[in-house]
Structure 1
């Protein structure tokens, strides 16, 4: 990892967690997460599609079914899964379907692929809490795809995509968002 000095693929110490998040262009999403205390590693990749070993060019055609996603490995004793999900919901617009801002296509859809039941339960609870907040402000329904990571394969994106905004600090960042906060949940 060009920023954190860690491996992109592990192995990871006992007690760490991993989650896969798709919130539009993976360059900006990865940058948001590598800055958080408790994040051990991030990477850019492709997930949720049907083609094996897709390339960026193939994903951009919309025919592979993949979304641009990031892998986030974190220490839940330092960064809670709730805080990680709060960053997710607040840093993109989960109501836009197959786009984020001006980025349009299946590869820009919102998705979360969880790795354990605790994550799944918290994802559903935070989604429901955020849906109430945005609905009260007139936004349409959340379209975020939620599913188990075990049913998908995460394909690491090409090297030039990894920590892209560290290498090219003035590079493209698209993160449409609602400007609304996720409330605390009990």
Structure 2
């Protein structure tokens, strides 16, 4: 049920989105935990995908220590405004979700394993919110780098939906799409929970396990 703040739970029309800016904001530091570049171009041969799971502080923390993950970065995707700021995204008029960019080595981990962590680490049934974090920027989302990733994400959603339904939970509201532009968040948001171990993390899963590599069963 949509109540107070309902306007923040609706995507803004494209023609009403904030204009943004031409200048791209690129990270100026290496990864606070892994010591590596946050830029995809600096990791040739690696794969990447983008996950929205609510506040990107907790989402990034979920992935950076997983086996096979080379680098992570907080940022914005799925919206209209070019090169938005954190304040603009939180205002609800850019259309972006807060996301984590995951750069990973396909020889050391599988996309299915990353998707399993994604589904189990948040609640993908809540629409434009995640717990007490309300707004379009907190929506659940998977932005795929190519059609192969897209198909894998859609298949994993079907599998997890069966598991959720068996547990008596509502349907998945996760946005699954090919990735558009990804915009890096400001330096202070990168690896935030490593720099501030007692910082806010609003992530919470459903408690339902996600099957990996299995066909959905009714």
TM-score, normalised via structure 2 length:
0.82
Please give the per-residue CA displacement for 1:67-112, whole angstroms capped at 9, x wherever unaligned: 1001000001111100000000000000000011111100000000
Partner of 1:169: 197
Return closer, same or farther for 1:32/1:129 CA change in 2, 3 Å cut-off.
Answer: same
Please give the per-residue CA displacement for 1:137-166, whole angstroms capped at 9, x wherever unaligned: 2211100001111xx111100100000000
Partner of 1:104: 134
| Residue among 145, 166, 186 paired with 1:136 | 166
Aligned-partner SS, 1:19: strand
State the 1:113 CA deviation.
Answer: 0.5
1:10 matches 2:10: no
State the 1:118 CA deviation.
Answer: 2.2
Aligned-partner SS, 2:41: coil
Aligned residue-pair number: 184
State the 1:52 CA deviation.
Answer: 1.3
Please give the per-residue CA displacement for 1:127-186, whole angstroms capped at 9, x wherever unaligned: 00000110122211100001111xx11110010000000000110111121111011324
Higher deviation after alignment, 176-185 or 107-116: 176-185
Alpha-carbon distance in 2 for matches of 1:58, 1:28 = 20
1:157 matches 2:185: yes
Alpha-carbon distance in 1 for matches of 2:147, 2:178 = 9
1:70 matches 2:103: no
State the 1:11 CA deviation.
Answer: 2.1
Unmatched runs of 5 consecutive residues or more in structure 1: none
Aligned-partner SS, 1:72: strand
Unmatched runs of 5 consecutive residues or more in structure 2: 1-30
TM-score, normalised via structure 1 length:
0.95
Aligned-partner SS, 1:11: helix
Aligned-partner SS, 1:6: coil
Q: Do the aligned partners of 2:86 and 2:185 also contact (CA within 8 Å) in 1?
A: yes
State the 1:124 CA deviation.
Answer: 1.0
Partner of 1:42: 72
Q: Do the aligned partners of 2:116 and 2:212 also contact (CA within 8 Å) in 1?
A: no
